[in-house]
Amino acid sequence: AQSVAQPEDQVNVAEGNPLTVKCTYSVSGNPYLFWYVQYPNRGLQFLLKYITGDNLVKGSYGFEAEFNKSQTSFHLKKPSALVSDSALYFCAVRDRAGGFKTIFGAGTRLFVKA
């Protein structure tokens, strides 16, 4: 069965510092991996995705994520956090053999302090 774990409910970081939001996954086959962000009272917005190829994926707003197959992880990173990055972040996985069923993690709330 597919599953996604986001081990941290909240991540606190100072503005200008690097940030990491962790995600690990479990699928029976090869995964497609996604990161979405949710601002208050809004729907989820796509940030980036891993399909194949280069393990380092670059996405919107300066975010990037590194796919690590051996550790089954897909951590979200940004070199320098902004206060405006404060939001709820979701990791999601789709098994290539499982159709469109996408499993979302529980979400990690990122708080960037000025």
Partner 1 sequence: DAGVIQSPRHEVTEMGQEVTLRCKPISGHDYLFWYRQTMMRGLELLIYFNNNVPIDDSGMPEDRFSAKMPNASFSTLKIQPSEPRDSAVYFCASSPGTSGALTDTQYFGPGTRLTVL
CA distance 79 to 89: 16
Query: Does position 107 bind partner 1 by CB under 8 A?
Result: yes
Query: Does position 96 bind partner 1 by CB under 8 A?
Result: yes
Query: Does position 82 bind partner 1 by CB under 8 A?
Result: no
Nearer to partner 1, 41 or 70 (CB): 41
String marking each residue 6-45 x if it binds partner 1 according to CB under 8 A: --------------------------x-x-x----xxxxx
Q: Are 92 and 105 in contact (CB under 8 A)?
A: yes
String marking each residue 40-59 x if it binds partner 1 according to CB under 8 A: -xxxxxx--x-x--------
**Where on the chain is the footprint of partner 1 (CB under 8 A)?**
32, 34, 36, 41-46, 49, 51, 90, 94, 96, 99-102, 104-107
